[in-house]
Amino acid sequence: MINVAVLGYGTVGSGVVEVLESNKELIAKRVGDEVNVKYILDLRDFPGDPYESKVVHDVNLIMEDPEVSIVCETMGGAGAAYKFSKEALSRSKSVCTSNKELVSLHGPELLNIAKDNNCSYLFEASVGGGIPIIRPIVEALTAERLDAVMGILNGTTNFILTKMDKEGADFDTTLKEAQRLGYAEANPEADIEGHDARRKIAILSSLMTGKHVKDEKVYTEGITRITAADFKFAHSFNATIKLLGMAKRAGKNEAEAMVSPFVIGNEHPLATVNDVFNAVFVTGNMLGDAMFYGKGAGKLPTASAVCSDVIECAKNLGKNLSCDWSDEEVKLLDVSDVERSFMVRFDAAAVNEIKNAFGDNISDVTLDNEMAVLTAPMKESDFNAKCEALKDAVHNRIRVL
Ligand code: HSE
C-alpha cells in the first residue's frame, strides 16, 4: 500500500481525496498497488465528513511517519506550504502540488531538494488546472526546443472578456455578474490585474527556457481598462481581445515574458477559447504549433491533475522525476524594446494626426466620436513617444498579437 497525506482540505485538497477514493480501483490497477489517503492536514475539524477520522492538525505526524511516501500540497501560499514542502522532500517524500505561487517562486530550489533526496516535486495542477500541460512539456515535448509558449491562463478574466465580446457589456457590469455566478472572487484583484496569469506564465516560461523566470519580473497588465468600445473596434478589424500570458525565446539567453490584453485575429486558435476555458499554445522548433485546451480551474479538474502526479510518484518511488529548470535567472527583454503593432482608440477629430503617426489602417466605423487604428509594427518605446505627442487624442491602446 502507498500512503499519501493531503495538506490542506479546501477546494482542491478535498477534490484530491475525492478523486483518489472515487477512482481507487483504476488507480490501484495503474500503479500496481493501492494508493491510500492516510492523513488530511488542516487547522479545522470536519464533523460529519466521510474522511473525518483522517484529519490531523499536527504536521509532524505526517513528516515523522515513514509510511507516508507522497504528500499533496494543496494549501496555497508561500509560507507554511513552502516550509512543509521542503521538509517533506528532505525526508524523501515526493510532493505533488497545485500551488502556482510556490512553484513560481521556489520551483528550482524545491526541484533540487527532491533530486538530492531521490523523490519528486511535481506541479501539473499549477498551470491550466485540469489541462495536461506540464507533463506534455517536460516529457512528450522533451525533444523540442520550445520557442514560444502563450495562452489564456485565467478562467475568470476569460469569462469576463467573452461576455464583453458577445454581449457588448462594460467591464464593471460583467465583473459583478462573474462575482454573482461565483466565477470571480469577492476580491478579484489577483485575476483581473493579471497576477494569477503572471505566476502561470512564469512557470511555463521557466520550462521553456530551462532557467528561472522570476514571477515578479514579468511585465503584467490586467483587463480593467478594456471597454465595450475596444471590443467594437476590435470586431471591425475581425479580431477580439484576450488576456494572454506569453513568453518567447529571444536569442540564446534572453526571453520575452508578459501578461497583457492582446487584440487577436479571429482566425487564431486562441480567439476561439471562450468563457472559463483556458488554452496553452506552444511552438516547438520541430513540432511547430500545438494547442492544449480545457478546464483551467475547478475542484475536480485541478484535483485530477494533482492525482495524476500522485500516480507518477507512486509508480516511481525512490526515484527522482526531474525536469529542466535550473535556478539561473533568465534575462527578460524590457517590454519597451519589443516591436509589435497596437490598436489605438482615438478622438475622431484627430484622425489626420493619427494617420501621420500610425498610418491609415483606420476602422471603418466611428462610434461616439471615436475611431481606431491598427499601427504597423514598431518598438513599444517609439509607440509610447508618438502617443505622448498626440496627448489627449489617444483614448486607449492595446497590443496586437
Ligand atoms: N482564479 C483562477 C482562474 C483559478 O480564474 O483561472 C485557477 O488558477
State the residue for C-alpha cell 460529519: 48
**Cα-to-chain-centroid distance, residue 386:** 33
Name the packing angle between helices 80-90 and 100-116 (round to 10°).
20
Separation of 338 CA from ligand 1 center, angstroms? 28
Candidates 17, 23, 27, 14; CA nearest to 314 is 27
> Residue of the nearest CA to atom 7 in ligand 1?
297
pLDDT average, residue stretch 265-291: 97
Candidates 96, 84, 149; CA nearest to 284 is 149
> For residue 200, which atom of ligand 1 is closest to its CA?
8
Residue 339 is placed in which grid cell? 516591436
Q: Are 132 and 143 in contact (CB under 8 A)?
A: no
Paired sense of beta strands 277-284 and 288-295, if any: antiparallel
pLDDT average, residue stretch 303-310: 98
DSSP state of 265: E
Residue among 152, 154, 192 whose CB has most ligand 1 atoms within 8 A, to mutate? 154
Please name the residues in contact with 318: beta carbons below 8 A apart, sequence gap of 6 or more.
118, 119
106/111 Cα distance (integer angstroms): 9
C-beta of 218 in contact with ligand 1 (< 6 A): no
> Residue of the nearest CA to atom 2 in ligand 1?
154
Indicate which residues carry an active-site annotation: 200
Separation of 8 CA from ligand 1 center, angstroms? 18
pLDDT on residue 302: 95
C-beta of 154 in contact with ligand 1 (< 6 A): yes
373/392 Cα distance (integer angstroms): 15
Domains of the chain: residue spans and CATH? 2-130+299-315 (3.40.50.720), 136-294 (3.30.360.10), 335-400 (3.30.70.120)
pLDDT on residue 252: 80
Name the packing angle between helices 24-31 and 11-22 (round to 10°).
70
Q: What is the pLDDT of residues 311-325, one digit of tens each?
A: 999 999 999 999 999
> For residue 154, which atom of ligand 1 is closest to its CA?
6
Residue among 98, 163, 191 whose CB has most ligand 1 atoms within 8 A, to mutate? 191
Separation of 34 CA from ligand 1 center, angstroms? 32
HSE at residue 237, side-chain half, CA atoms within 13 A, is 25
Separation of 4 CA from ligand 1 center, angstroms? 26
90/74 Cα distance (integer angstroms): 18
Q: What is the pLDDT of residues 90-147, one digit of tens each?
A: 999 999 999 999 999 999 999 999 999 999 999 999 999 989 999 999 999 999 999 9
Residue among 196, 201, 242, 293 whose CB has most ligand 1 atoms within 8 A, to mutate? 196
C-beta of 196 in contact with ligand 1 (< 6 A): yes
C-beta of 296 in contact with ligand 1 (< 6 A): yes
pLDDT on residue 253: 83
State the residue for C-alpha cell 478579484: 188
Phi and psi angles of residue 241, each rounded to the nearest 5 degrees, phi first: -130, 130
111/115 Cα distance (integer angstroms): 6
Residue 28 is placed in which grid cell? 490501484
pLDDT on residue 309: 98
C-beta of 297 in contact with ligand 1 (< 6 A): yes
**The amino acid at 128:** G
141/145 Cα distance (integer angstroms): 8
C-beta of 128 in contact with ligand 1 (< 6 A): no
Separation of 155 CA from ligand 1 center, angstroms? 5
- pLDDT category of residue 251 using cuts at 50, 70 and 90: confident
Q: Where do the H-state alpha helices sit in 64-154?
A: 80-90, 100-116, 134-135
Question: Which residues pair with residue 37 across a beta bridge?
Answer: 4
Paired sense of beta strands 394-400 and 339-347, if any: antiparallel
HSE at residue 67, side-chain half, CA atoms within 13 A, is 10
Residue 340 is placed in which grid cell? 509589435
Mean pLDDT of the chain, nearest integer: 97
Report which secondary-structure segment, H or E, holds 258. strand 254-265
